[in-house]
Amino acid sequence: QVQLVESGGGLVQAGGSLTLSCAASDSTFRRNAIGWYRQTLGLQRALVARITSTGSTAYADSVKGRFAIFRDNAKNTVYLQMNSLKPEDTAVYYCRAFVIDYSDALIGSWGQGTQVTVSS
């Protein structure tokens, strides 16, 4: 099954931007929908953005208009472009692959994630 590795997190001021990367171990990930989740200490992980194998996207209301998810199949990578960042976006961000495009069933397990910290 495909393995995913997150990167690109860091410390940024409120209003700034970051781009996260989710790199897949092989090209089979092209058949999978990919989601970006985030988790703040003490809270459950929440799905913030999702992209299907054909490029359709969906976003949580909290990030709509500020975040953009896109994929580069030639690089086996899915990105999360985050703009107008707010302190409440501070979290560990994870990516996961879904079994099929419009299913909530996930493949594999949670990785290390990448920390995003937004200072006010």
d(CA 71, CA 51): 8
Region of residue 8 (left: phi > 0; alpha: psi -120 to 50; beta: else):
left
Q: What are phi and psi of 51, to 5 degrees?
A: -135, 135
Confidence label for 2 from pLDDT (cuts 50, 70 and 90): confident
pLDDT higher than 90, residue 120: yes
Q: What pLDDT, on the 0 to 100 scale, is given for residue 22?
A: 97
* CA separation, residue 12 to residues 50, 65, 73, 110 (Å): 23, 19, 28, 24
Confidence label for 4 from pLDDT (cuts 50, 70 and 90): very high
Question: By percentage, how much of the chain surpasses pLDDT 70?
Answer: 100
pLDDT higher than 90, residue 44: yes
The dihedral through the CA atoms of 115, 67, 6, 19 has a sign that is negative
